[in-house]
Amino acid sequence: MVTTSLATVAPTTDSRYLNRELSWLDFSERVLALAEDETQPLLERVKFLAIYCANLDEFFQVRVSGLMEQASAGVTSATPEGMTPVQQVDAIEERVRAVLPRVESLFSRVLRPELARVGIHLVDWDELGSADRDVLAREFRDRIFPVLTPLSVDPAHPFPYVSSLSLNLAAIVRDPQTGVRRFARVKVPPLLPRFLALPDGSRFVPLEQVIAAHLEALFPGMEILNHHVFRVTRDADLDVEEDEAEDLLAAIETELLRRRRGASPVRLEVHTSTTPEVRNLLMRELDLDQTEVYTVDGLLGLSAIASFVELDRPELKDEPWMPVAEPKLVAGEHRPDLFSVLRSGDVLVQHPYDSFPASAEAFVEQASSDPDVLAIKQTLYRTSTGSPIVRALIAAAEAGKQVVALVELKARFDEQANITFARALEQAGVHVVYGVVGLKTHAKVCLVVRREESGIRRYAHIGTGNYNPSTARLYEDIGLLTADPQIGADVTDLFNLLTGYSRQREYRQLLIAPLTLRARLVELIRREAMHDDGSIVLKMNSLVDADMIDELYLASQAGAQIDLIVRGICCLRPGVRDLSENIRVRSIVGRFLEHSRIFRFGSAERGVDYYIGSADLMPRNLDHRVEALTPVGDSALRARIDEILELERTDDVLAWELGPDGVWRKVPTDRGVNVQERLMAMATERSRGER
């Protein structure tokens, strides 16, 4: 049985909680388990391994870097489970080092040979014959050599800046006349393909090996004594004091430049063949110690194997899924009048099963071209290049409509893209704002104000995911389209809070963080604790907040039955006698990233409250971000949510369960219920009128 476990490398003062960072590593190992799953198509396994490696890179850039900063600053305060920053860094190092051989073995001994068996060969330079080497020599001369910049280190040339996650060659060269040895660094160009295809189209050679084979062209007349591949990970978190920033846009741009050029190193990866001379030199120049060096027996930067997933080999991938249009949003060959549809009732969509272009995008596009629409207000946390929604907002502004876009500049790793979108929107006449000082705006809301015969009417879309057509094909998310007057009034008030000055703290229907969300969730949990048939079902990405966890523990002790579906981090320890014996925790990890947040409180006899929205149960979401949850009132839509949650709770193909010992265990497959496959089938049935 495959398991992932909580490391117990440090004493805990309160065993009620699991450590956040180690829980994230548990999640990452559940992703790795998909890459190890022999029932998955081969290129899907490659994809999951690439995702695991990319996620680990980000973990070091953000989470580990933050802990290292705290440790360096002498912070000794402990997290709820009792670990100091130093203890957490040590525990992370132990866990990551323990998993690295598993990752290397999976790729070198399993996936690489399997790829070769189906005609996708990753070959080393040493395996090539003279004809292939001649081909790559021409490629080097024509396309690679002009891009390279060798940087030597000597009294006149200080050690060069090594950018985060870049792949590099460290070369030791010697002047044959003087005998002087020097260190030089060559950056592997990130904009060139990592794997160069040979003419037969089935064999690929790592770019760094081609460069290494031609180092003499970069150092003519010098002896190449040895060369080694290395990689540096740097702190990637932004540090912007908004209260002191007169221009947030300029402040973010300055901080992005600092992140690119001056962020502190947090990890050095070297190949096992790296000599002590080079290893020690890199450690000294990067100011890293032995605990921050990770030795890799294989390819560095293994996330690059994601490029193989793009190969035209459909037989090695999951069968493509084409999202279907929600039946209410289809009118023959043409799109219906969405405003007329919403006046007759709310519409719930679940991506990627339901089409994003036919719902959220169509909503904004129709509003953009409708002459009776007076205003469109939209939050943008993450979107994509060439976003149809951004184009529609620009078109609406150019048509004279009042258009407001709340662009969150601090969306991690999307800061530069959001700056670009913000400027394009401003140039078109869109009123662009950046939210509330001190808070990220994470809410996913869009408001349309329309002039109608009966007067002004407001329409809204409130979702759990970003307005991003690319991720909408990969992330499972839910959105509500509604003409409910109270929800529309709440969304109006929310935008007034985001764009102007407002001290409003009460809302009619929406739960808004950091104003009303935490208190209302606590109220709902306590309500269920008071009843013999108390029932709570929560689906989210992460459960971290200690106060919310304690409320769930108290409800469990009072007899409430609690089911938690937590994709990633879970700091609650379920199934503990007299503490959490009525709490069950499971995680769904599969083809689509489970991203929606669904909150269900109550029983059929007493009535049930349903909410969907943008917030996880983490301190940052509840207290330091603007989040929005909306109730779902329509009985048919509530029944659909119940159906989704029941499938999530009965899945035995993709599901893992968390035990009281802090260990995640794969649920044994008995009935073969795959929630994602079932939801695809159900979407197809709805589109055909069979449901």
Helix/strand/coil for 54: helix
The answer for residues whose C-beta is within 8 angstroms of residue 140's C-beta and 6 or more apart is 210, 211, 213, 214, 217
Which tokens belong to 557?
């002790």
Which tokens belong to 281?
């030199």
Can you list the alpha helix ranges (DSSP code H) found in 207-352? 207-212, 215-218, 248-262, 276-286, 306-309, 338-343
Measured between alpha carbons, how far is residue 569 from residues 181, 544, 618 in Å? 49, 7, 10
The answer for residues whose C-beta is within 8 angstroms of residue 19's C-beta and 6 or more apart is 6, 79, 81, 83, 88, 91, 571
- Strand intervals (E) in 391-516: 402-407, 431-433, 440-441, 444-452, 455-463, 475-482, 511-513
Residue 339 backbone phi and psi in degrees, to 5: -65, -35
Which stretch of DSSP H or E encloses residue 35? helix 20-36
The answer for residues whose C-beta is within 8 angstroms of residue 483's C-beta and 6 or more apart is 339, 342, 343, 346, 457, 458, 459, 460
Q: Nearest CA to 102 among 56, 167, 42?
A: 56
Which one-letter amino acid corresponds to residue 341?
A: V
Burial (Cβ within 10 Å: 0-12, 13-18, ≥19) of residue 64: buried
Q: Residues 39, 43, 46, 50: is their CA dihedral positive or negative? A: negative
Give bridge partners of residue 402 from the DSSP assignment.
Answer: 375
The total number of residues written for the chain in this structure:
691
Helix/strand/coil for 285: helix
Helix/strand/coil for 198: coil
The answer for residues whose C-beta is within 8 angstroms of residue 668's C-beta and 6 or more apart is 1, 652
- Known active-site residue 271: no
Which tokens belong to 543?
């459960």
Which tokens belong to 41?
């198509």
Q: With contact defined as beta carbons under 8 Å apart, do 407 and 478 qualify?
A: no
Q: In sequence order, what DSSP letters do the residues of 613-679 get, joined into one string?
A: ES--BSHHHHHSEEEEEEE---HHHHHHHHHHHHHHHH--SSEEEE-TTS-EEEPPPSS---HHHHH
Q: Nearest CA to 260 among 65, 413, 148?
A: 413
Q: With contact defined as beta carbons under 8 Å apart, do 7 and 94 qualify?
A: yes
Active-site choice (442, 461, 595, 624): 442
> Strand pairing of 431-433 and 402-407?
parallel
Active site residues: 442
